Amino acid sequence: MKLAFDLASSNRTILGVDSINTLGSVVKAKGYGKVVVLMDSGIEKSGIGERLLTILKESDIEAHSISDLPREPGVPDVDRVMEQVKRFSPDCVIAVGGGSVLDIGKLCAVLASSELTVLDLLDGVAVPPHATFTILVPTTAGTGSEATKNAIIAIPSRKTKGAVVHELLLPNLVILDPVLTVSMPPAITATTGMDALCHAMECYLSQKANVLSDLLAVEAIRLIAGAIRKAYEDGTDMTARSEMLLASYYAGMCITLSGTNAVHAMSYPLGTTFHIPHGQSNAMLLPLVMKQNLTAIPEKTRILAECFGYRSVDGTVGPAAYMDNELNSLLTDLEITRSLGQFGVKLDDLDALVGSAYGNRRLMDNNPMEWTEGQIEAIYRELLEEM
């Protein structure tokens, strides 16, 4: 753990039940009168999008909505959205939804007033100035995108995902309202919650882990361990929803501070090629990846196990074995499938999956231990054998 860190975060964050009701007054106070609200079709159907538009209109703010954002956006999708946003010429962009929508919202901050494209940024062109006021409103408790300087976008032509990473992508305002997460069905609650757990655990074991990322990661893991089953079993449990939303935010801050590693490296090609939801693929991979990674840092393994209730006096099982049991029990209790075959993955796909994961050096070089292609293949193969 490094006794040094460099944290870039949003300008302002508001957490609380019904905190979304502050949206109109905040936008009005900034002097903005023309807003674009980004959402996907699920948010539109849930009524959350209409609630936001009503709040804005009641404050005499002209609000336009773009409601056809995909859940796993690619470069062409972002280009299409940017064209629509530029047509409206908004003072402010509000993104409401899951991580993909929030990522596009962050890109709007730097692209809405620029001639550059997202592919330019993915290929390393300098990120232009943050010119459009952005507000992010997460409706899932998992990606933590509202707290990161990352935007993850699929590049279909290259069969991979790329990342734009820069502090200029950070939002001006984040609103964390647990009420907006109540509409999440149990299955989405489970996989997005596991996504947040992946972020926190990977960042805790990261090569770049530091004093602040460790502090936030441990608290995020502790919160998730105590709340995720409750949120899954009773979606109206506001305490559990609040704790999951806060944990997701903390874990997102961890990504900015130290970064993820092997789970995400192996997850990305599953999403790009087979369109497996990100939280689902992360959840499947987490127990198998951690079974190897936890051997690298025994002292942290004990702390992780204690977040899940481990006490050395309770029995002879060590912390690593305890964590292995806890992670597998979580997948069982949350009814998360472990079979890659159910998503159309076949043995013939292994070489491409392994090559993509191993070749993602940004993430694999941040892993707490060096992995071979054989180790990656063994994990994919085990998930293929699951029924």
In a domain, 6, yes or no: no
User: What CATH code is carried by the domain that includes residue 93?
Assistant: 3.40.50.1970
In a domain, 266, yes or no: yes
Residues 328 and 203 reside in one and the same domain: yes
- Return d(Cα 336, Cα 351) in angstroms, integer: 25
Q: Which domain holds residue 55?
A: 12-181
DSSP code string of 258-279: T---HHHHHHHHHHHHH---HH
7 band by pLDDT with thresholds 50, 70 and 90 = confident
In a domain, 7, yes or no: no
Closest residue by Cα to residue 90 from 35, 133, 129, 27? 35
Q: Which residue has the higher pLDDT, 311 or 246?
A: 246
Q: Which residue has the higher pLDDT, 178 or 5?
A: 178
User: Percent of the chain scored above 70 by pLDDT?
Assistant: 99
387 band by pLDDT with thresholds 50, 70 and 90 = low
Give yes or no for a contact between 186 and 146, defined as CB atoms under 8 angstroms apart.
no
Residues 225 and 350 reside in one and the same domain: yes
Other Cβ atoms less than 10 A from the Cβ of 16: the count is: 14
Closest residue by Cα to residue 254 from 302, 196, 300? 196
Task: Check whether 264 has a pLDDT greater than 60.
Answer: yes
- Return d(Cα 369, Cα 376) in angstroms, integer: 13
Domain final residue, candidates 181, 202, 231: 181
Domain final residue, candidates 128, 160, 181: 181
Q: Does the CA dihedral 48-53-57-59 come out positive or negative?
A: positive
User: What CATH code is carried by the domain that includes residue 282?
Assistant: 1.20.1090.10
- Return d(Cα 360, Cα 196) in angstroms, integer: 21
Q: Which residue has the higher pLDDT, 8 or 132?
A: 132
Tokens read off for 335: 């009814």
- Return d(Cα 98, Cα 192) in angstroms, integer: 9
Lowest mean pLDDT among 26-30, 311-315, 358-362: 311-315
In a domain, 164, yes or no: yes
Residues 337 and 243 reside in one and the same domain: yes
How confident is the model at residue 232, as a pLDDT?
98
Assign 148 to helix, strand or coil.
coil
Other Cβ atoms less than 10 A from the Cβ of 83: the count is: 9
Lowest mean pLDDT among 106-120, 188-202, 241-255, 307-321: 307-321
Residues 201 and 340 reside in one and the same domain: yes
352, amino acid identity? A
Q: Which residues contact 188 (CB under 8 A, 6 or more apart)?
A: 140, 279
DSSP code string of 303-346: HHHHHTT--GGG-S--HHHHHHHHHHHHHHHTT----GGGGT--
- Return d(Cα 82, Cα 110) in angstroms, integer: 11
